[in-house]
Amino acid sequence: MAQVVLENIYKTFSAAVRVRETDEESVSTPELLTSSGAVLRRINLTVNDGEFMVLVGPSGCGKSTLLRLIAGLESLTAGNIWIGKTLVNDLPPKARDIAMVFQNYALYPHLKVYDNLAFGLRRMGESLGENQELNSDQQQDFSSLLRRFSEEALVVMTRSLKPGLRYFSDREKAIAARVLAVAELLQIESLLDRYPKQLSGGQKQRVALGRAMARNPQVFLMDEPLSNLDAKLRTETRAQIVELQRQLGITTIYVTHDQTEAMTMGSRIAVMNRGQIQQVAKPLELYNRPANRFVAGFIGSPGMNFLTVQFSAPLLIVHPLFRLTLPERWGFNLKAYDGQSLILGVRPEHLKMGCAAPRNLPVQVERIEVLGHETLLSVRPYSREESSFSLIQLRVPGEVKVNLKDQIWIAIAVEHIHLFDPQTEQAIFPR
């Protein structure tokens, strides 16, 4: 188990790297010649020992590339990656003591489940059995090396035979004990004699997880491991992954584009967009205090609604179709925006159907999605003079009866609104 530290990470496929000489050392500073070549820029992130960190963002934002940099499958343009106290920039993947679970499982089709689980253990340089530990003098002894080579050869030659005819060295016995322990933890003991083609998607995923767990690495890296599963199985498997991580206490970095997955799994979440980290926080902090408009729109399902409004001091918000008076706590931080535009954000769950009133918004129903316990409505602000308003989404109880093209009024929960600077799109917080 170890802390993972990313320091000023850059990754680009079309950049010149200028080396700036200083009095003390040479510092590599990437000069991005084309913005299209910059995959990652100024990534600084610390993943604490034993933490479950989720990297989330839209497709193409750089999250999988960042994971591959940590694994050693991509080379850095600039920056440092630390795993524990070791700088791993120049270390090959096998020397980083990490285990990675891929999106496509990456199981060996010609090996049974048992051998898939044991594969990484057999490739490890160190011995797993206490009787196999050698001191420096013994390692140089030719007879010891020959004996070990002979035992490993017998293990390989008899592996395909019936259990009673196989040869098990002390090392292979230790591997078998580790494999059986992991199989029991994942409840796949009955699958050990099957080939991957005989498994369902969920079973393959558990085998892939088991292969990573068996090595007991310092860090788990998971690249969208649930994307090939159906909705019900995804829900079951993600709960299982979280529980396993809690039991093992291994530092885990998990990549997904599904914000619901991120919110339910991560102890902290790093939201990425266009190669940069937008915000790192606990799930509820991301939901309640998004740092900018992108985070506010990405976190939540459905996402946050946005409206352009005018602010009039001390506390008045004006829209062509409604006006709101803000709570007193907003007054101080909004003084500089008197007479200017702001972006008002409000989540679907903080809107409800109301009556005709100056503070409520008249809308027309454009789409209805019935979910049983609730109904999602997509509505458009209604005005005979203006028809260019974007769709707004809100949740209503399942028993509410609404028809397409109905004209209704919606009330905004003013205590739950968010405001953003229209130029920088950064959040403005009340005192």
Of residues 392, 376, 416, the one with CA closest to residue 308: 392
DSSP string, 287-345: HHS-SBHHHHHHSSSSPPEEEEEEEETTTEEEETTEEEE--GGGTGGGGGGTTSEEEEE
Structure tokens, 151: 């035992």
Spatial distance between the Cα atoms of 353 and 193, rounded to a whole number of angstroms: 58
Contact assessment for residue 275 and residue 38, using Cβ atoms and an 8 Å cutoff: yes
Quote the pLDDT of residue 30. 44
Spatial distance between the Cα atoms of 44 and 21, rounded to a whole number of angstroms: 23
What is each CA distance from 401 to 4, 302, 407, in whole angstroms?
52, 21, 13
Spatial distance between the Cα atoms of 155 and 122, rounded to a whole number of angstroms: 11
Spatial distance between the Cα atoms of 47 and 108, rounded to a whole number of angstroms: 31
Q: Is 154 exposed, middle or buried (0-12, 13-18, 19+ CB in 10 A)?
A: middle
Contact assessment for residue 324 and residue 411, using Cβ atoms and an 8 Å cutoff: no
Quote the pLDDT of residue 427. 97
Quote the pLDDT of residue 125. 53
Quote the pLDDT of residue 128. 53
The values of phi and psi at residue 176, to 5°, are -60, -40
Using DSSP's 3-state secondary structure scheme, residue 65 falls into helix
The values of phi and psi at residue 178, to 5°, are -65, -45
Q: Which residues contact 402 (CB under 8 A, 6 or more apart)?
A: 365, 368, 375, 377, 396, 408
Contact assessment for residue 65 and residue 39, using Cβ atoms and an 8 Å cutoff: yes
Q: Which residue has the tokens 């535009």?
A: 341
Quote the pLDDT of residue 89. 95
Containing 6, the helix (H) or strand (E) segment is strand 4-12
Of residues 18, 59, 58, 13, the one with CA closest to residue 40: 13
What is each CA distance from 89 to 1, 73, 80, 215, 275, in whole angstroms?
19, 11, 6, 22, 19
Quote the pLDDT of residue 96. 92
Structure tokens, 11: 């990754």
Spatial distance between the Cα atoms of 72 and 12, rounded to a whole number of angstroms: 15
Q: What residues pair up with 47 in beta bridges, in sequence order? A: 4
> Which regions of the chain are under pLDDT 50?
15-36, 126-127, 129-140
For 25-32, the CB contacts below 8 A with 24+ separation are: 28/78, 29/78, 30/77, 30/78
The values of phi and psi at residue 42, to 5°, are 50, 55
* Type of residue at 269: I
